[in-house]
Amino acid sequence: MRLERRTHTPLSLVVLAPVAAIGAALILAAGLVAAAGVNPLAAYAEMLRGALGSRLAITEMLTRATPLILTGLAAAIAFRARLWNIGAEGQFYMGALATAALGHSLGLPGWLGVPLLMLTGMVAGALLLAGPAYLRLRFEVDEVVTTLLLNFVAILFVGLMIEGPLRDPLAFGWPTSVPVDAAYRLSDLVPRTRLHIGLLFAVAAAAIVWLILDRTVFGAETRAAGLNARAAAFAGVSLPRTIMGVALLSGALAGLAGAVEVMGVTAGVTTTMSPGFGYAGIVAAMLAALNPAGVVVSAVFIATIFVGADAMGRATGVPSFIADVIVSLCLLTMLVALLFTSYRVRR
């Protein structure tokens, strides 16, 4: 048995790959569910009902998908340029923290304050990735290591701030930062639910990222640099400028996810506000084969697993950590599926 490179990948295969990957992941995880003493089919049915079974469930799921779309876009744009940003989690927290800090006592009307706070989150996220990008360009420091480790630095920094200068005195000792002013809370998309207009911002961001990557000179140069850096440089593409541009955009998207989550859902920042949005964003980007429109779909899928697993845990007693297992398995099976979209098996 051997692998032969495909000269052409049919569209059906591009669509089929993530579907097959998800199917395989669910089958693999079924073993674990069964080991917990529950019928996997019943458990998965419970999961679907919990995420999509009611209006409230769907809005909860979409609330969860909103930051995931943004962190997924952050990973997609960086990975396209072969900039391995594993630090969306940290950038998310820095975006959230900056937004809460500035949004607590900003004396501006809402229509001006909201965009300004989103911009603040974006700048904070971008700055956190600018460092690793600079180190990579200047000294060839591996950004996988620096971005990954900065996640822990960022979360500890958030902890420091909410124990200190940004501590919310009205939270009765609960470790949370001061909340953003009510004027800057994002309005509800569906009344009496947690779903907020941040979802629309996230979808708009996906459209803008697609436009940048697919239609602009910067996007073309990004793709060129990612696929063959040497040939891109030969053709006159400035690698440092391209990589730095991609880093700023990627960090900004992850920072925006944090800003939107604070303004839309949590109001204050805690060190546990992200159930791994940054890491799950990597899975969302991979499942979508780094396609911005696909990221929206895969983020919704991952949110379904996360929200559904909570419901499944309540109904069947299977620990909801199974969601992390399923999402991680999806990344592995998707990597295999991607192999088969570019190679065929020959006997």
By CB under 8 A, name the binding residues for other proteins: 2, 7, 215-221, 223-224, 227-228, 230-238, 346-347
Phi, psi (rounded to 5 degrees) for 177: -80, 170
CB of residue 107 to other proteins, shortest distance in Å: 36
Return the number of the residue (241 or 314) whose C-beta is nearest other proteins.
241
Return the number of the residue (3 or 170) whose C-beta is nearest other proteins.
3
Return the number of the residue (167 or 223) whose C-beta is nearest other proteins.
223
Query: Using the 8-state DSSP alphabet, how is residue 183 labeled?
Result: G
Residue linked to tokens 């697919």: 214
CB of residue 115 to other proteins, shortest distance in Å: 22
CB of residue 208 to other proteins, shortest distance in Å: 13
How many Å apart are CA 125 and CA 258, to the nearest integer? 9
Return the number of the residue (215 or 314) whose C-beta is nearest other proteins.
215
Token pair in block for residue 278? 């940054």
How many Å apart are CA 137 and CA 125, to the nearest integer? 19
Return the number of the residue (187 or 216) whose C-beta is nearest other proteins.
216
CB of residue 123 to other proteins, shortest distance in Å: 21
CB of residue 83 to other proteins, shortest distance in Å: 17
Helix (H) or strand (E) holding 345: strand 343-346
Return the number of the residue (8 or 192) whose C-beta is nearest other proteins.
8
Contacts within 8 Å (CB) and 24+ apart, 22-25: 22/287, 22/301, 22/330, 22/333, 24/329, 24/333, 24/336, 24/337, 25/326, 25/329, 25/330, 25/332, 25/333
Return the number of the residue (108 or 220) whose C-beta is nearest other proteins.
220
Q: List CB contacts of 72: < 8 A, sequence separation 6 or more.
A: 280, 281, 282, 284, 285, 288, 295, 298, 299
CB of residue 238 to other proteins, shortest distance in Å: 8
Return the number of the residue (55 or 215) whose C-beta is nearest other proteins.
215
* Residue 296 · residue 69 · CB < 8 Å: yes
CB of residue 203 to other proteins, shortest distance in Å: 21
How many Å apart are CA 162 and CA 141, to the nearest integer? 31
CB of residue 4 to other proteins, shortest distance in Å: 8
Cα 208 to its chain centre, rounded Å, is 16
Type of residue at 293: A
